A and B are shown apart, each in its own frame.
Chain A
Amino acid sequence: MRLDGLIQFAHAIGAIATPTGLFNVVWATLLGMAVGMMPGLTATLGVALLTTLTFRMDAGDAILILVCTYVGAIYGGSRSAILLNIPGTPANAASTLDGFPLARQGRAGEAMGIATVGSFFGSLIGMLLLVLIAPQLAEFGLKFQSFEFVWLAIFGVVISGRITAMDDPIKGWIAGFLGLLLAQVGQEGIHAYPRFAYGSTDLAGGLGLLPALVGAFGFAEILCVMKQANYQTVRDSGRRIVPRLADIVGRWWTILRSGVAGTVMGIIPGVGEDMGAWVSYAAARRASRDPDSFGKGNTEGLLAAETGNNAAVPGAIIPVLTLAVPGSAPAAVLLAAMFIHGIRPGPLIMVEFPNFVFEVAAMLFWASVAILVLGLALTRPMLHVLRVPRDYLMPLVFVLCVVGSYAITSRVFDVWVMLGFGVMGFALREMGYPMAPLVLGIVLGDLLDKNFRRAMVLSDGSLEPLLTRPISAGLGLVTLLVLLWGLAPVRRAAGRLFGVRR
């Protein structure tokens, strides 16, 4: 990092340290933690609802609140993973593997402490990498033209579909391309022709991203949660909460490796926090001298998973800021929020908003501090959140979904969009289709459309530049490899060819 960058970063940290700024950090992080803790309420839903409810606020305050909610929710999900064996958000699924066995051994407090410290360091490592990588990536992004953005959009849904549906990639790809197609409804961005509108002014206005997200992650989640009979009750948290210093210092390598792995997984479009946790967990297990103890209450496994998922938060924000391509579903909402507040993320971010990257890094810094302090200090009071009956909570969440979808444009049509996406999201989930590629597709649909048609006009209908321009060809090749990697016959053939045991 150059010295002026460091100074801007320090200034940004100081600028938030006002009574109002810190008040916003505390309540938004606490709200995020509560949202993350409650099974059925995800980080995406929390950030989406707050985006709709804070859009009249000052841009800096609103983005700070959203970033803190995002970090808090990904961290908060570890509580229910440890205490209930139910990941509070999908990002905490890997934390159940060792967190819940620790709770069963009467070491729930220790597990929560380790998860807190891991999340804190994960966020910090991700934040540092954001400050280091984002300006470079934005500069690299300046070389992108329409041809490269076309491949970036296709690569995003292909890799997201592949990784979020590891055992059935075709479903991930269907979700991703369906998202891209749904984004084509409404006035297109070149000639303002209303596609698939059939005379309806509502359809001509397009399907709003936020109502769609609130539906797919809020209403669909309500239906999923209400489908389940009651969960188990909360267990005792045990005595020790603050982890021993030696437990943390002795595992610096696990923290660093998981932080870097989580950030890298976050950067990959539409992959996000859950894969950050899984990859970090798998790496920790591979590196461990005692891999058999993983899944039976190994604190290192929990530390790796929680460091990895929180490191993926800044990681997912890196492509949001520099390429306007979200690294995860909550980051997609954050991208939409930035557009609403007049910030235009993309390769020109360091030119048009030179301080913004450092301001976001400072927001992540304060959110990390908040989860450490609040997470350790409020362990026992926060357990009450898990005792709220779902029958009481879900109608409130639905009311917020309705209010949130209506809030931005005051269109009843947006409530219908929310309902439609909710029912569709519920049905797709029940059939095993992942939501992240769908969301990424909806976000990238406009980018793909405008750039593909521009590219075709520039090349006079020739596909050659898509395959011959260096960056474009590179992205195309990676997309092809990801596609082939997803095809079972290709994997089997490669296994036979290279003698890999399947």
Chain B
Amino acid sequence: MLCAACAAVTLHMPAQRRTDLWFAVVLTAFSLVVAVESWRMPRLAELGVNPMSAPGLTPGLLALVLVVLGIALLWRSLRAPTAPDDTATVVEGAADDPPARATWPRALLALLLCLVYALGLLGRLPFMWATGLFVFAFIAAFSFDRARPMRALGGALLMAVAVAASVSLLFEQLFLVRLP
């Protein structure tokens, strides 16, 4: 019901305010749950522990501060649009030429490939194989729109072999680090 109410309220909002409102709702709900969980934590009174050193004290208070901040963000998001805060003294970047167009599918593809490698391949395949496969797939996936795809695939294969071999040897032999 809360979600439906939020969806109705946010229908005509600018994107940033809509995001703020949703995040404020999630943050407030999460912080309330944490506050309740902190309250429910054992006070260890049976061990003669001073109630002021109860484990739930600090997380509970921090959760309450986040509840207040969440409500403040919620209240601000629901208010009528106001003029931007012109007291800000920092101007980010020079940006005569904006760097580049942002595309969500690229980020999601990168996220998917990284998760498959870290959660799916590692542990099931030897580190060198899993790493080689991941590097090849990553480069190949982002090179499919290149002018010369075969050359890109060749580069991906070369990079995959180089990274898999060098990371394994360098960290295992030189830095004496255990690999996943």
A448, B58: Cα distance in complex, Å: 8
- The residue in chain B whose Cβ has the minimal distance to the Cβ of A179 is B62
Chain B contact residues (Cβ within 8 angstroms of A): what range? 35 or more
The stretch from A108-116, A374-382, A405-413 touching chain B is: A405-413
B88 touching A167, Cβ below 8 Å:
yes
- The residue in chain B whose Cβ has the minimal distance to the Cβ of A168 is B85
Which residues of B have CB within 8 Å of A488? 85, 87
Tell me if A230 is interfacial: C-beta within 8 Å of chain B. yes
Chain A contact residues (Cβ within 8 angstroms of B): what range? 35 or more
A173, B76: Cα distance in complex, Å: 15
A177 touching B96, Cβ below 8 Å:
no
Given contacts A85-B97, A85-B99, A191-B53, whether A53 and B177 have CB atoms under 8 Å apart is yes
Given contacts A85-B95, A100-B96, A402-B180, whether A53 and B171 have CB atoms under 8 Å apart is yes
A410, B61: Cα distance in complex, Å: 33
Interface majority SS (helix, strand, loop, mixed), chain A: helix
Kindly name the residue among A188, A391, A412, A502 whose own CB sees the greatest number of chain B CB atoms within 10 A.
A391
B57 touching A392, Cβ below 8 Å:
no
Which residues of A have CB within 8 Å of B76? 170
Which residues of A have CB within 8 Å of B96? 85, 100-101
Given contacts A295-B94, A398-B114, whether A412 and B123 have CB atoms under 8 Å apart is yes
Tell me if B167 is interfacial: C-beta within 8 Å of chain A. yes
B34 touching A391, Cβ below 8 Å:
no
Tell me if B173 is interfacial: C-beta within 8 Å of chain A. no
Given contacts A166-B90, A222-B114, A403-B180, whether A56 and B16 have CB atoms under 8 Å apart is no
Interface majority SS (helix, strand, loop, mixed), chain B: helix
Query: Which of B52, B87, B177 is A457 in contact with, Cβ under 8 Å?
Result: B52
- The residue in chain A whose Cβ has the minimal distance to the Cβ of B138 is A395
Give the distance to chain B from A393, nearest Cβ to Cβ, in Å.
Answer: 10
Which residues of B have CB within 8 Å of A391? 138-139, 142-143
Contact with B along A422-435 (1 / 0, CB 8 A): 11001000011000
Which residues of B have CB within 8 Å of A448? 58
Which residues of A have CB within 8 Å of B113? 395
Given contacts A398-B117, A399-B134, A406-B178, whether A181 and B139 have CB atoms under 8 Å apart is no
- The residue in chain A whose Cβ has the minimal distance to the Cβ of B101 is A229
Listed by A's residue number, 13 A-B pairs whose Cβ atoms lie within 8 Å are: A53-B171, A170-B76, A191-B44, A191-B55, A195-B59, A226-B110, A228-B99, A228-B106, A394-B138, A399-B163, A412-B180, A432-B16, A452-B57
